[in-house]
Structure 1
């Protein structure tokens, strides 16, 4: 009946929202472990099927555990190398602090002079006010109690992240060990068959979603490189690549850099550069808003309007993570309604 299907649909939507909002953050290490196990399983199955592995009776679970441990060690070494490189770059940046400070003071002075010519506020007074506010900000950052609280909070977050990663690796190994037993136990259940079909469709939809995001990111990177080249920006290739990657991050976008840059250029009297930054921001934003629903909707098989609505509602309901959780929730809801024949309200039971 129509009302029954409508009620079930409302329940599905509410259930998916509650799971994504509250259960997914708690179960995230296990979900990541499950994804890691599924990613390693084909390679583990292929290696375990080799003649030498069959001779020594290596199982899929054992081979998969070794692969996961090797990936974990490689990831740890990669992170350590990145941290070492980052610390070296930070050391160089600290050594250049006097030069950066001098350049920053020159920029503030030029902006204050431009404000004096435009508004009439003396440059000396405005610059003194800015320096005074910067002193207040730096003193608040260097305050002992706040610094200690920030350090303790950072340590807690690091412990939680490291613990979650360890739990992810352990759960992935255990899932590989018990994968075959679970499959034999639940494969005959009708719910398992529908759930398996749903997961396959979700896997395909998520893969197409990320493919579309990569295509959009590539187009944005090319636009940023071309725009910065036309604006005469030095190192426009690196800057354009960084802007394109920034645009792919949830909530941020190219406006995080281009709007403040336009403001600084306007205060320094470079009206053409400021207009160029604003124009580049508008172009990249419009291109993303135009391409995102069409590419994702075309690949996933959902209306572009619904894709755009899912991104908006995701940001509104889940915060910054809604950039991913919104479309994912829409895919889950659509898959459940399709697998359980709840989309056709004109069909009576």
Structure 2
């Protein structure tokens, strides 16, 4: 009976935990995300501020302003240069798009002619079929998709204005958190729920940071490998393509092979052995990084199998959209942490009951 009650209790805890994590990520997190980010930045800058206060007696508020200004300048400088290169390559791509479209049209015509000959039908049949349907697609894009893009552009502009306001709130929050960090910490420690929450948040912090750190490192490494490969084959949009492949590789269903393998095959058909070899080498390098570096950084540290992480990313994308590839695994970490802690407490209470019965 005792074991049966424990199973029912654990089932209830699992259901409530999954439901609570979903509600938290879907509805609560967007409300508090700016302040969570502000807390993380403040925690990172706090040692620097304390060092300045201890060594040169610089007031905490001034130290916070100085360190935050230096960090913002550094991040802004890096982002500016990266965005400048990416925008330059995007503009060049758009200018040359008609040329690439013409080349693509030539490939399609050759493919259609080959299909006509293979099927033994009149030349131009497949080509007419594709172009007729393509005209319909253009009509749909003009009448339905373009108005939506225009509307979204206006919403994006409004969103950018709102983002500036949120950024200002974050900056002020960072300064206030650093200035009175001891008071905030003391207030949290005196809370009635501090011990219960701290047990979970400390483990969750370790696991969550490990995951985010892993994904950031993997995105950087794979983007770097692909960018180097693009430079070696003298691609004009090396950084743009490399970063794009790195982002695509972060999704569990897609992966870098979705882009690199067809690209290599096309180069082989064009008898460009050098480019095909470089691209295949980049693909193998990406796979080796995923198979060796990622488990060491993430899976082995927190005991979660990579396949479960991929499942969580897939479910996260389905439930939360684009950000789900981050929120999914974070939600999995939260669920596992809370359930493990609940199970330990249930086992602990069971042990205490057995011990008391033996004493009696």
TM-score normalised according to structure 1 size: 0.72
Structure 1 residues 305, 81: closer, same or farther in 2, change over 3 A? closer
Q: CA deviation at 1:247?
A: 0.7
Structure 1 residues 33, 222: closer, same or farther in 2, change over 3 A? closer
2:117 aligned with 1:112: no
2:27 aligned with 1:28: no
2:39 aligned with 1:37: no
Paired with 2:29 and 2:252, the residues of 1 have a C-alpha distance of: 18
- Find the counterpart in structure 2 of residue 322 from structure 1: 324
Paired with 2:98 and 2:329, the residues of 1 have a C-alpha distance of: 47
- Find the counterpart in structure 1 of residue 180 from structure 2: 178
Question: Which shows bigger deviation, 287-296 or 133-142?
Answer: 287-296
- Find the counterpart in structure 2 of residue 66 from structure 1: 66
Could you tell me whether the CA contact under 8 Å between 2:226 and 2:242 is conserved in 1? Answer: yes
Structure 1 residues 339, 113: closer, same or farther in 2, change over 3 A? same
1:49 is paired with a residue whose SS is helix
Matches within 5 A, 1:85-96: 85-96=85-96
- Find the counterpart in structure 2 of residue 169 from structure 1: 171
Could you tell me whether the CA contact under 8 Å between 1:32 and 1:168 is conserved in 2? Answer: yes
Paired with 1:102 and 1:337, the residues of 2 have a C-alpha distance of: 57
> Using CA pairs below 8 Å that are at least 6 residues apart, which structure has the higher relative contact order?
1
Structure 1 residues 121, 293: closer, same or farther in 2, change over 3 A? farther
Could you tell me whether the CA contact under 8 Å between 1:246 and 1:253 is conserved in 2? Answer: yes
1:253 is paired with a residue whose SS is coil
Paired with 2:85 and 2:292, the residues of 1 have a C-alpha distance of: 38
Aligned pair count? 337
Q: CA deviation at 1:19?
A: 0.4
In structure 1, list runs of 5 or more residues that go unmatched: none
CA offset digits 1:15-62 (Å, max 9, x no partner): 122101221123222222222222222222222222242xxxx11x44
Could you tell me whether the CA contact under 8 Å between 2:219 and 2:246 is conserved in 1? Answer: yes
2:15 aligned with 1:10: yes
Q: CA deviation at 1:90?
A: 3.8
TM-score normalised according to structure 2 size: 0.70
Matches within 5 A, 1:103-182: 103-120=103-120, 122=122, 124-138=124-138, 140-142=140-142, 145-146=147-148, 148-182=150-184
Could you tell me whether the CA contact under 8 Å between 1:209 and 1:300 is conserved in 2? Answer: no
1:112 is paired with a residue whose SS is helix
Residue 335 of structure 1: which of 328, 334, 337 is its match? 337
Paired with 2:57 and 2:348, the residues of 1 have a C-alpha distance of: 59
CA offset digits 1:304-348 (Å, max 9, x no partner): 665455444434443443322222122223333444564655852
CA offset digits 1:185-218 (Å, max 9, x no partner): 2323453244334333223223333454467668
Q: CA deviation at 1:122?
A: 4.7
